[in-house]
Amino acid sequence: MRFEIVTIFPGFFAGIFEHGIVRRAQTEGLVSVALHDLRNYTHDRHRTVDDRPFGGGEGMVLKPEPLAEALESLGILPKGRDQGPGIGDQQKQGNDRTKGRPLVILLSAQGKRFTQAVARELAKVDRVVLICGRYEGVDERINELYCDMEVSIGDYVLSGGELAAAVVVDTVMRLVPGVLGNEASGEFESFGVADAEIGTDEDGVPRSQHGAGGLLDYPHYTRPAEFAGWAVPQVLLNGDHQQIRRWRREQQLRKTLRNRPDLLEGAVLSDEDRRLLEAIRREGAQQ
Beta bridge partners of 104: 129
> Is residue 6 at the binding interface for ligand ADE, with CB under 6 A as the rule?
no
Please say which residue, 25 or 158, places its beta carbon nearer to ligand ADE: 158
Q: Where are the alpha helices (DSSP H) in the chain?
A: 20-27, 64-73, 90-93, 116-122, 140-146, 162-173, 195-198, 241-259, 262-266, 271-286
> Is residue 74 at the binding interface for ligand ADE, with CB under 6 A as the rule?
no
> Is residue 109 at the binding interface for ligand ADE, with CB under 6 A as the rule?
yes
* Beta carbon of residue 154, minimum distance to ligand ADE (angstroms, whole number): 5
C-beta nearest to ligand ADE: residue: 164
> Is residue 60 at the binding interface for ligand ADE, with CB under 6 A as the rule?
no
SS3 content of the chain, % helix, strand, coil (to 5): 40, 15, 45
Q: Which of residues 210-269 bind ligand ADE (CB under 6 A)?
A: none
Sign of CA dihedral 37, 38, 42, 47: negative
Cα Rg, the chain, nearest whole Å: 23
Please say which residue, 19 or 112, places its beta carbon nearer to ligand ADE: 112
Taking residues 115 to 134 in sequence order and writing x for each that binds ligand ADE by CB under 6 A, - otherwise, the string is: ------------------x-
Give the one residue of 38, 71, 107, 129 binding ligand ADE; rule: CB under 6 A. Answer: 107
* Beta carbon of residue 122, minimum distance to ligand ADE (angstroms, whole number): 14
* Residue type at position 171: T
d(C-alpha 159, C-alpha 168), whole Å: 16
* Beta carbon of residue 246, minimum distance to ligand ADE (angstroms, whole number): 38
Cis peptide before 224 (omega within 30 of 0): yes
Please say which residue, 5 or 257, places its beta carbon nearer to ligand ADE: 5
Sign of CA dihedral 201, 203, 208, 209: negative
> Is residue 152 at the binding interface for ligand ADE, with CB under 6 A as the rule?
yes
Reduced to 3 states, what is the DSSP secondary structure of residue 6?
A: strand
Q: Which of residues 131-150 bind ligand ADE (CB under 6 A)?
A: 133
Distance in Å from the first CA to the final CA of the chain: 51
Give the one residue of 123, 130, 147, 164 binding ligand ADE; rule: CB under 6 A. Answer: 164
Sign of CA dihedral 23, 34, 1, 214: positive
> Is residue 157 at the binding interface for ligand ADE, with CB under 6 A as the rule?
yes
Give the one residue of 20, 80, 94, 154 binding ligand ADE; rule: CB under 6 A. Answer: 154
Please say which residue, 133 or 214, places its beta carbon nearer to ligand ADE: 133
Site residues for ligand ADE per CB under 6 A: 107-109, 111, 133, 152-154, 156-158, 160-161, 164
